[in-house]
């Protein structure tokens, strides 16, 4: 046996390596004695820093507003009762309440839209900065509306329930809220989508639908937009949302005759 083959025999293949190639989850980290390998300790430190940055870094609303205008969306700007980021993090209740001045401005908007879209920074500005526009563009191609008149409301220091007050002030039949989800150590930029029919202050979480982990490494834009469009159409047709509205969006998409929009058929588990 030569020296090279002897050295090869001493190196044992890690059976987890193949599985790790298919997920960003922190699995099969290995060990050195009773500790983690140095490389994994450094990766953990980086992931923790990215998660903290996602929470504390302010969303660039000016840049996002400009990008949405260039893409042809009609935008409005509001804020919650949380005056700054520290207050937002310490007082979740204030992030759920619409500022009085902003509510009055929304009440003066001329029409009562069937659909209103809210984009809130939430707990990950990274998620909103990276994914809100491409998700919204994919949704626009799948949901019939007069998009020049659909209000897209940019909400600063907002939590999920803030969409209820915004939708109520706009007198919208349906509100779709895009928000940065609480970051994890392998997913600092996940976007969450929340859909509420007949929005009003005081709606419970059980009265809205959620699609989570929207990002290229999680639920891709096209799939998320297809689910969202299906739920939005059904919510408007049935005049309900939440636990009473099931996601039957997607085992098979069958093209309608004559080149019209595809029809979504089948049954899949709820997107919760």
Q: Is 102 annotated as belonging to a binding site?
A: no
**pLDDT at site 253:** 46
> What pTM was estimated for this model as a whole?
0.81
Ranges in the chain, pLDDT < 50: 251-272
Please tell me the predicted confidence (pLDDT) of residue 214: 96
Is 118 annotated as contributing to ligand binding? no
Residue 262: predicted pLDDT: 34
For residue 261, the model assigns a pLDDT of 38
pLDDT for the residue numbered 258: 39
Residue 21: the pLDDT is 74
Residue 160 among known ligand-binding residues:
yes
Q: What is the pLDDT of residue 244?
A: 92
**Residues 131-190: pLDDT tens digits?**
999 999 999 999 999 999 999 999 999 999 999 999 999 999 999 999 999 988 778 899
pLDDT of residue 161: 97
Cα of first residue to Cα of last residue in the chain, in angstroms, is: 58
Which domains, and CATH codes, for the chain? 58-243 (3.40.50.11240)
């Amino acid at each position: 046996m030569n020296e090279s083959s002897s050295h090869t025999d001493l190196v044992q293949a890690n059976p987890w390596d193949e599985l790790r190639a298919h997920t960003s989850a922190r699995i099969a980290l290995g060990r050195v004695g009773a500790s983690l390998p140095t490389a994994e300790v450094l990766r953990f430190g980086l992931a923790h820093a990215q998660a903290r940055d996602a929470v504390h870094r302010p969303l660039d609303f000016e840049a996002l507003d400009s990008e949405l205008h260039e893409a042809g969306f009609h935008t409005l700007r509001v804020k919650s009762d949380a005056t700054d980021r520290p207050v937002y993090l310490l007082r979740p209740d204030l992030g759920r309440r619409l500022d009085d001045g902003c509510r009055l401005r929304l009440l003066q908007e001329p029409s009562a839209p069937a659909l209103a879209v809210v984009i809130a920074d939430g707990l990950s500005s990274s998620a909103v900065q990276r994914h809100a526009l491409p998700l919204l563009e994919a949704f626009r191609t799948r949901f019939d509306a007069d998009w020049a008149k659909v209000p897209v409301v940019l909400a600063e220091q907002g939590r999920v329930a803030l969409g209820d007050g915004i939708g109520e002030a706009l007198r919208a039949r349906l509100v779709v809220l895009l928000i940065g989800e609480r970051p994890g150590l392998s997913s600092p930029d996940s976007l969450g989508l929340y859909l509420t029919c007949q929005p009003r202050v005081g709606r419970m979480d059980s009265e809205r639908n959620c699609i989570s982990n929207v990002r290229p490494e999680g639920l891709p834009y096209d799939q998320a937009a297809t689910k969202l469009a299906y739920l939005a159409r059904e919510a408007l047709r049935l005049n309900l949302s939440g636990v009473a509205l099931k996601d039957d969006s997607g085992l098979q998409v069958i093209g309608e005759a004559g080149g019209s929009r595809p029809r979504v058929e089948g049954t899949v588990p709820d997107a919760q």
